Structure 1
Amino acid sequence: MKKTSAAIAAALLCAATCAAMPTANAAARSSAADARFKAIYTQEWKWRQRQKLEEEEDDVSAVSSTLPKVDPATQQARLTYWQGVMKKLDGVVPASLSEGERINYLVYRAQIGALIDNQRFREYEKPLNADSSFWSNMASDARKTFRTLPEYRAYVAQLNDVPRYFREEMANMRAGLKRGFTPPKVTLLGREGSLTAVTDEKDVTKLVFYKPFRDMPASIPADEQARLREAALKAIRDAVVPAHAELLAFMRNEYIPGATEALAATSLPDGKAYYQSKITEFTTTSLSADQIHDIGLKEMAKIRAEMLGVMKQVKFDGDLPAFLNFLRTDPQFYAKTPEELLMRAAYISKRFDGKVSDYFGYLPRKRFAIIPVPPEQAPYYTSGRGGPGVYLVNTYNLPSRALYSLPALTLHESAPGHAFQMPIALELKGRPEFRKAYISAFGEGWALYTERLGVEMGMYETPYEVFGMLSYQAWRASRLVVDTGVHAKGWTREQAQAYLRDNTALSNHEVETEVDRYISWPGQALSYYLGEMAIMEARHRAEKALGAKFDIRNFHDTVLNLGSVPLPVLQARIDAFIADGGKSPYPKDE
């Protein structure tokens, strides 16, 4: 993946310095080069969809009748295919492409590089972590809304395919177990609760898999509805529940007992190279673990100084540890009921609606719902998560869900964070389908940036809410220290927990679940703060260069109009934004 980063850097340099003269011959060459490149990614994307590796996040019209094939032969074939695609990309000269396709090339090459690395390191032999798993992801699909008879029929067929899919996943997990490639055992303890939620339920109509059949569209005739419900119940009883029972026995008797004890990704097979590939995938940079660790320490020192300033503002008599203990234990900062937490989140999101036009020109069409995290996932789930159409709020263990942190969480997970940025990316016209794929450094960096933006927007009503935002900034900056500490510097789980506990206002429950997430999902936690730093740097550069011409709405629209891109592509786009005088990427009447 270092080659991928080097290719991006070289292509960006070429994009900035090798612009072709606007001659007829140059235009013809560019058109031919564009056509060759488009043929590569169009063919690959169609193949990827046939592999059931991609689906439209905001579209349920194409419900598949089968789950993906994940057996070793299929996985090897995918590696071979993507390596062939990369060879074709090596034959493309970025300078020969038009401006739009040059950006597509940079995004696509990084994407294919990450896919190759995941296959090369056999990431598919570890299809779970402390945060999520292949079976919990499948359960989430059952919460989608189906509208037509073919969709329902396809979903029933998909339920009947669960045993085959689970057995292929278990075979991969056994292969990973054999070579010591598993999440650390400590992060798996208790995670089988999402399986027992299925196997222990006596009434299968209460299972999430039956949810689409409880209220079916009136456009489907009553007799068809009855047949579909009967078929769904049979599939759940005879296929889905037994498959979960088989997986549960495997987890309890083989996988968890045999999982690796070591925490560090560098202790896994070819661990140093594996962890560097995760760094590159999740940060879209070639930074080393040592460099990221040092960045984290420096940023944490800056944030701590801001925290101390808020403590002075509220006239707290004590040091930071005492203040953190006060925040974690005083009842005034915590909701009494799940409904109170959900309603407060809704109030915050509506307050943003009153400010949105001052900071954004283009608004997404898709709205989002605020719903609690499903109970079977909640004990080990993060405090919230957002995306197209949804803002999940974790109402489990209310004394760990601080109200002073809720504004920052809501901005991050709903609007203008994930439930805002992701729909805009999906709504953009004239982009290749692969541009709709999510890039963590960009998406998480944007969502964290919006937490800081909340200060400018007046979203924080008390100093404690400002401190909640700072605590969340420290939480993400501390990930740079903790993730690299655990995976490259030999940190223990207790050491990582202590660092979070000493430097953020996170509850003890959140500290424990978050550290387990970082341990079991190497590199992902690095996305957030490095992404935010890139966006902030780009904004400061644009403000300085444009002066009075700088319009915050145009800047935000320009960033979001990219969709989701590697961080070097973002920087190059802002260079062009500055050169163009800070104009909006949208026509005036849009």
Structure 2
Amino acid sequence: MPSSTTPSSTPSTPATPPSPGPARASSPIDAVADRYVDTIARLDPLAATSMGVPGHDHEMTDLSPAGHATRADAARAVLRELDTTPPVDDVDDVTLAVMRERLGLDLELDEAGEWLGQLNNIASPVQDLRDVFDLMPTSSVEAWENVAARLNALPGALAGYRASLRAGAARGRVPAARQVAIGATQADELADPASSFFTSFITGPAVDAVLDESAACSLVRKELEHGAAAARSAYAELAGFLREELAPHAPAADAVGRDRYALWSRYFLGADVDLDETYAWGLEELDRVVAEQESVAREVLGPRDAGGPDVVARAVAALDADPARQLHGTQALRAWMQETSDAAVLALDGTHFDIAEPIRALECLIAPTQQGGIYYTPPSDDFSRPGRMWWSVPAGVTEFTTWRERTTVYHEGVPGHHLQCAQAVHARDTLNRWRRLACWVAGHGEGWALYAERLMGDLGFLDDPGDRLGMLDGQRMRAVRVVLDIGVHLGLPAPARWGGGTWDAEKAWELLRANVAMPQPYLRFELDRYLGWPGQAPSYKIGQRLWEQTRDAAVTARRAPGGAGGLREFHARALGLGSVGLDVLRQTLA
């Protein structure tokens, strides 16, 4: 939740979570956390829709400085209430530790003015105000009335966002010029009547299937048209504001500096890491993954072709040219995603994980946007909206290869994000609503998903050399992110093999091109993302590192001599916690 000073008291070290048993009675601390979910939903209706909390789909979040201040005040009030509410069991101990850590960091970022200046190419209000419509129900007249109301409220939200950007600029929190330009371009796309998402969203079969020709439905259609036009106009106004008012004050440098980066790193990881040591580890990890990838590439090529330089590039070319690994068109891609996901659920349930019935449903979809990237959205609280894996395919991209993306399905689906997030939503006998629906720590979530990719390789699901090379391709990219992100934002020295001197966008681009086998449009999007969202991208690989360290310590400590159930037990206990900061995870499971 974009709001949040320092914790009102020091988090206690949580104890080991209880073993499965009778349903746990809700505690006074659970009541505080549950009420806070209602507060979040009231003050941030976009978050309510994301969480699947009903009753707010027709409302819009106040993105002005006053809106941020109100949400910060609510977080402070909850921390004060928690200070006077004693825990009754181990579950409460974890809740206290997580809420104090999360809300405390929200407030640190609020006091530093960081929430005011949010603008990048993937996760800022420019995208959030459009993306929320992907999650809104559309199967009834009332649902389309909610869509119309929110569309008509969107100009007010963007006006508040512009006010926050102005306030952030007054405090020296101006996004880099690169991000301002990208935001303006994205706003242009949403403002264009011919190609805007808002134009296509309110027309077509999905609308016609619900809205008939009655007078009442005709009125809803008019409100939808008015709202879509208002949204397009508001984005046009935003594009002009970004170019004409904000851009002249935007710094050319992409780097945010050590102090700001350290704060964002703690936010995304839920852990305090030594950034210089982590950067050095990132360089070592990149070399290790490259060596492993070269070994697997030789398996792909076979003994006759495995000699000589550029073995990975030649293996990638061979895999891309293999007709058995090709998919033609987005519908074939969607069908393959669904088939691969369903097969993973079937194979893992009852063997390596226990997957409850509601969690077995994962819907694979092609996203309505064309910005690139693959992402997951969790189920609603009652599972009426299932977990979904979305693939945002850039315009003109029609050919896909399975070898590179099988590991991605495991990352976004099972045992990755879907198992992790849906398991938390399902754990209503143990977790309060805030822990099930509202808490998300990127390093925990993305670290688990990357851990899950490597786990699937260890369990034999990536024994095909091509699929394993795809997993390593992803691991290599995530190692690059650690080096690139920390190196650029902290202004660290670049190794001679990557140009020497100080890391900057140009050196980062060469590092990406040399190590990541992606089409150039994807790579450009990725680089812009890292430059504009400091600390988030490294949370994947650093999170995986901390997950593996926690697992190794916990399994070693708990496994009886000769026992064989340690890993499955660890996964069940870890996923049963929901999303927590990685320091809390380690303390709880040690």
TM, length-normalised to structure 1: 0.82
CA shift for structure 1 position 498: 2.3
CA shift for structure 1 position 385: 1.2
SS at match of 2:202: helix
Runs of at least 5 residues in structure 1 that lack an aligned partner in the other structure: 20-30, 267-271, 576-590
1:294 to 251, 272, 280: 280
Give the corresponding residue for 2:585: 570
Give the corresponding residue for 1:409: 408
Looking at structure 2, the residues matched to 537 and 487 of structure 1 have their Cα atoms a distance apart, in angstroms, of 26
Matches within 5 A, 1:411-430: 411-430=410-429
CA shift for structure 1 position 487: 0.9
Give the corresponding residue for 2:497: none
Aligned letter for 1:163? P
Looking at structure 1, the residues matched to 182 and 49 of structure 2 have their Cα atoms a distance apart, in angstroms, of 32
Native 8 Å contact 1:352 1:415 kept in 2: yes
Looking at structure 2, the residues matched to 460 and 494 of structure 1 have their Cα atoms a distance apart, in angstroms, of 35
Looking at structure 2, the residues matched to 451 and 204 of structure 1 have their Cα atoms a distance apart, in angstroms, of 35
2:162 to 142, 152, 170: 170
Looking at structure 2, the residues matched to 262 and 400 of structure 1 have their Cα atoms a distance apart, in angstroms, of 36
Aligned letter for 1:508? Q
Native 8 Å contact 1:127 1:134 kept in 2: yes
CA shift for structure 1 position 319: 6.0
- Name the structure with the higher helix share: 1
CA shift for structure 1 position 227: 2.2
Give the corresponding residue for 2:495: none
Give the corresponding residue for 1:493: 505
SS at match of 1:132: coil
CA shift for structure 1 position 84: 4.6
SS at match of 2:375: strand
Give the corresponding residue for 1:182: 174
Residue deviations 1:481-509, cap 9 Å, x none? 11110111252112222223333434433
Pick closer, same or farther for the CA change 1:451–1:172 going to 2, 3 Å: same
CA shift for structure 1 position 281: 0.7
Residue 102 (structure 1) aligned with residue 93 (structure 2): yes
SS at match of 2:193: coil
CA shift for structure 1 position 82: 3.0
CA shift for structure 1 position 422: 1.6
Native 8 Å contact 1:146 1:212 kept in 2: no
Looking at structure 1, the residues matched to 93 and 450 of structure 2 have their Cα atoms a distance apart, in angstroms, of 28
Aligned letter for 1:64? D
Residue deviations 1:95-153, cap 9 Å, x none? x6421100111111111112102211222322321223324222222233234554443
Native 8 Å contact 1:145 1:212 kept in 2: no
Pick closer, same or farther for the CA change 1:303–1:427 going to 2, 3 Å: same
Looking at structure 2, the residues matched to 548 and 460 of structure 1 have their Cα atoms a distance apart, in angstroms, of 26
Give the corresponding residue for 1:588: none
Looking at structure 2, the residues matched to 549 and 2 of structure 1 have their Cα atoms a distance apart, in angstroms, of 45
Pick closer, same or farther for the CA change 1:481–1:189 going to 2, 3 Å: same
Matches within 5 A, 1:147-296: 147-202=139-194, 207-210=199-202, 214-215=206-207, 222-237=214-229, 239-266=230-257, 272-296=258-282
Pick closer, same or farther for the CA change 1:141–1:48 going to 2, 3 Å: closer
CA shift for structure 1 position 321: 4.3
CA shift for structure 1 position 298: 2.8
Residue deviations 1:544-589, cap 9 Å, x none? 34142415443322222211111233234434xxxxxxxxxxxxxx
Residue deviations 1:246-265, cap 9 Å, x none? 11222333334542211111
2:546 to 529, 534, 537: 534
Residue 331 (structure 1) aligned with residue 321 (structure 2): yes
CA shift for structure 1 position 201: 2.1
Aligned letter for 1:432? N
CA shift for structure 1 position 88: 5.0
Looking at structure 1, the residues matched to 567 and 212 of structure 2 have their Cα atoms a distance apart, in angstroms, of 48
Looking at structure 1, the residues matched to 35 and 51 of structure 2 have their Cα atoms a distance apart, in angstroms, of 23
Looking at structure 2, the residues matched to 231 and 80 of structure 1 have their Cα atoms a distance apart, in angstroms, of 35
Residue deviations 1:491-549, cap 9 Å, x none? 21122222233334344333322121111001111221222223323333344341424
Aligned letter for 1:146? T
Give the corresponding residue for 1:474: 476
Native 8 Å contact 1:296 1:478 kept in 2: yes
Pick closer, same or farther for the CA change 1:136–1:208 going to 2, 3 Å: farther
Give the corresponding residue for 1:432: 432
Aligned letter for 2:321? P
SS at match of 1:390: strand
TM, length-normalised to structure 2: 0.82
Native 8 Å contact 2:7 2:103 kept in 1: no
Looking at structure 2, the residues matched to 460 and 43 of structure 1 have their Cα atoms a distance apart, in angstroms, of 44
Looking at structure 2, the residues matched to 340 and 38 of structure 1 have their Cα atoms a distance apart, in angstroms, of 45
- Further displaced range: 119-128 or 517-526: 119-128
CA shift for structure 1 position 449: 1.2
Looking at structure 2, the residues matched to 291 and 4 of structure 1 have their Cα atoms a distance apart, in angstroms, of 27
Pick closer, same or farther for the CA change 1:277–1:400 going to 2, 3 Å: farther
CA shift for structure 1 position 212: 9.5
Identity value in percent: 23
Looking at structure 1, the residues matched to 294 and 84 of structure 2 have their Cα atoms a distance apart, in angstroms, of 55
Residue 525 (structure 1) aligned with residue 518 (structure 2): no
Give the corresponding residue for 2:123: 132
2:68 to 48, 70, 75: 75
1:514 to 521, 526, 532: 526
Looking at structure 1, the residues matched to 311 and 181 of structure 2 have their Cα atoms a distance apart, in angstroms, of 32
Native 8 Å contact 1:264 1:486 kept in 2: yes
Looking at structure 1, the residues matched to 195 and 540 of structure 2 have their Cα atoms a distance apart, in angstroms, of 41
- Give the number of equivalent residue pairs: 545
Pick closer, same or farther for the CA change 1:513–1:325 going to 2, 3 Å: farther
Native 8 Å contact 1:364 1:424 kept in 2: no
Give the corresponding residue for 2:22: none
Give the corresponding residue for 2:103: 112
Native 8 Å contact 1:335 1:398 kept in 2: no
Residue 365 (structure 1) aligned with residue 358 (structure 2): yes
Give the corresponding residue for 1:391: 389
Residue deviations 1:207-263, cap 9 Å, x none? 2541699436769994432221122222323x2222122112223333345422111
Residue deviations 1:135-174, cap 9 Å, x none? 4222222233234554443332222212211111112122
Aligned letter for 2:57? S
CA shift for structure 1 position 361: 1.0
Native 8 Å contact 1:79 1:120 kept in 2: no
CA shift for structure 1 position 180: 4.1
Looking at structure 2, the residues matched to 293 and 4 of structure 1 have their Cα atoms a distance apart, in angstroms, of 28
Aligned letter for 2:464? T
Give the corresponding residue for 1:483: 485
CA shift for structure 1 position 416: 2.1
Native 8 Å contact 1:110 1:566 kept in 2: yes
Give the corresponding residue for 2:384: none
- Further displaced range: 391-400 or 415-424: 391-400
SS at match of 1:265: coil
SS at match of 1:215: helix
Native 8 Å contact 2:40 2:48 kept in 1: no
Looking at structure 1, the residues matched to 284 and 8 of structure 2 have their Cα atoms a distance apart, in angstroms, of 24
CA shift for structure 1 position 466: 0.8
CA-based RMSD of the aligned residues comes to 3.4
CA shift for structure 1 position 448: 0.7
SS at match of 2:218: helix
